[in-house]
Amino acid sequence: MSKKTVLTGITTTGTPHIGNYLGAVKPAIDASENPALDSYFFLADFHALIKCQEPERVARSTREIAATWLALGLDTDKATFYRQTDIPEITELSWILSCQTSKGLMNRAHAYKAAVDANREAGKDDLDDGVTMGLFSYPVLMAADILMFQADIIPVGKDQVQHIEMARDIAGRFNHNFEPLFTLPEAKVDEETQLIPGLDGRKMSKSYNNTIPLFSTSDELRKLINQIVTDTRAPGEPKDPNNTLMHLYRCFASEAESERMRQRFLEGIGWGDAKTELFEYIDAHLTGPRVRYNELMSDLGEVEAILNKGAERAREHSVPFLDKVRHAVGIRSLTDTTTARQQDVVKEKEKSEEEIARAEEGRRRAILMQIRPLLDQVDQAADKAAAAQALVAEKTAEVEALKKKARQKAQNELDLLIEELSALL
């Protein structure tokens, strides 16, 4: 079976936080270690322009996110790691897909609808106020990211599921109208990692301003953990183990360690002590990657080189694949006069030859399978015949011996009678 392709993108607008790490980066890196999967991870920097018009922030976020993935141990020999903007074929595909995407489908996209709803609530006359074409066509660019690499599995947060469904829709329409070039992708949502709590106990998210940056200094990390909201129970009072500290602890610690911590909450560990433990645990876990992160951030040439290599690898696929897409829709060299139909005929012929060969091989095997038990039966019958013959020979010999004996006996009796008779005479 051929390998499945996993693909995901990260919009480069923020500084990576612990929720990103646990919810996206770590599971993706784990997937890239699975030899049954091909993985593509990329920095969605064109997507960043939709949300963010601060050039410095986009540039900084791109550096930080690239360095983060590498510092956390992404092996770029195993995964293809690149910048969306280094693959011009994606933007080109995005246009071709736009021409297959109904506007009505985009009208239903959550992000666009949210903007319209906000305008309606604010009483604006223009419901599209502040909506750019970038925001409106966001799902098409995302479909191009995915369809370009014929990805099967797209690990995303819940808010992105609709976009993957739209990518399927668009792919289906293209496949139907032209050639079936695109793989239909499927979203994969990990429920558990959707629930990483932030400082205030709600889901950790940039938009709630409750995040813990992944690579702050130890001091900053300690300060932030001390800000985590708890109840007012005093040290010694039993505490509900279903709390933010425990939840975060569990994300890093082993089963056994988590269980021990849970017990300590029940036994009344003070919030301050629990925060210290949590800080120490996370700090120890992140020390190695933090050192590497700082190294990479002070040698961005290395990161740039890695991304360039990743783009080269990605383009080994995207360049020839886009050629096929262009051909399928009729964008061709003037001297290329093969039609899709002609190509289809060639393909059909190849396919049917292959099918015939496969069918013949199948038939040969089926005949062999039917013959084999018959051959076995023949062998068995021959064995039985030989055994029967031996038995016949044995019995014949016995009969002969008996006959001989009987004849002998009769002869003896006859001799006796003759003797007696001659005596009488």
> Minimum distance between the CB of residue 238 and ligand TRP, rounded to whole angstroms?
40
* Footprint (CB under 6 A) of ligand TRP, residues 344-403: none
**Residue with smaller CB distance to ligand TRP, 84 or 243:** 84
Q: Which position among 8, 12, 100, 205 is part of the footprint of ligand TRP (CB under 6 A)? A: 8
Element (H, E) at 153: strand 153-155
**Residue with smaller CB distance to ligand TRP, 65 or 156:** 156
Annotated binding residue at 32?
Answer: no
Whether 245 and 278 have beta carbons less than 8 Å apart is answered as yes
Contacts of 6 (CB under 8 A, 6+ apart): 28, 31, 32, 37, 38, 39, 40, 151, 152, 153, 154, 155
**Residue with smaller CB distance to ligand TRP, 157 or 289:** 157
Whether 80 and 313 have beta carbons less than 8 Å apart is answered as yes
Annotated binding residue at 258?
Answer: no
- Site track 132-151 with ligand TRP (rule: CB under 6 A), x = hit: ----------x--xx-----
* Footprint (CB under 6 A) of ligand TRP, residues 26-45: 44
Burial of 352 (0-12, 13-18, 19+ CB in 10 A): exposed
Residue 278: which of 232, 233, 227, 238 has the closest Cα? 227
Sheet holding 4-11, edge to edge: 79-83, 37-44, 4-11, 153-155, 186-188
Whether 68 and 215 have beta carbons less than 8 Å apart is answered as yes
- Site track 43-72 with ligand TRP (rule: CB under 6 A), x = hit: -x--x-------------------------
Piece of 3-11, 211-219, 257-265, 301-309 that binds ligand TRP (CB under 6 A): 3-11
Q: How far apart are CA 257 and CA 239, in angstroms?
A: 17
Q: How far apart are CA 23 and CA 206, in angstroms?
A: 14
What the block records as the tokens of 186 is 């499927």
> Minimum distance between the CB of residue 11 and ligand TRP, rounded to whole angstroms?
4
Reduce the DSSP state of residue 204 to 3 states and report it. Answer: coil
Annotated binding residue at 205?
Answer: yes
Q: How many residues at the interface with ligand TRP, by CB under 6 A?
A: 12
Residue 257: which of 238, 284, 234, 230 has the closest Cα? 284
> Minimum distance between the CB of residue 54 and ligand TRP, rounded to whole angstroms?
17
**Residue with smaller CB distance to ligand TRP, 70 or 154:** 154
Whether 211 and 204 have beta carbons less than 8 Å apart is answered as yes
Reduce the DSSP state of residue 78 to 3 states and report it. Answer: coil
**Residue with smaller CB distance to ligand TRP, 164 or 278:** 164
> Minimum distance between the CB of residue 140 and ligand TRP, rounded to whole angstroms?
11
Annotated binding residue at 19?
Answer: yes
Kindly list the distances between the CA atom of residue 391 and the CA atoms of 59, 171, 388, in Å, as whole numbers in the listed order. 96, 76, 5
Length, in residues, of the chain: 425
* Footprint (CB under 6 A) of ligand TRP, residues 151-170: 154, 156, 160
Is 11 among the residues that bind ligand TRP (CB under 6 A)?
yes
Annotated binding residue at 34?
Answer: no
> Minimum distance between the CB of residue 85 and ligand TRP, rounded to whole angstroms?
12
What the block records as the tokens of 31 is 């997937």
> Minimum distance between the CB of residue 157 and ligand TRP, rounded to whole angstroms?
6
Piece of 6-14, 205-213, 298-306, 380-388 that binds ligand TRP (CB under 6 A): 6-14
Annotated binding residue at 384?
Answer: no
CA dihedral 251, 253, 259, 262 (to 10 degrees): -60
> Minimum distance between the CB of residue 187 and ligand TRP, rounded to whole angstroms?
9
> Minimum distance between the CB of residue 47 and ligand TRP, rounded to whole angstroms?
5
Annotated binding residue at 20?
Answer: yes
Interaction site with ligand TRP (CB under 6 A): 7-9, 11, 44, 47, 142, 145-146, 154, 156, 160
- Please state the residue numbers annotated as binding site: 11-13, 19-20, 145, 157-159, 196, 203-207
- Binding annotation for L-tryptophan: 145
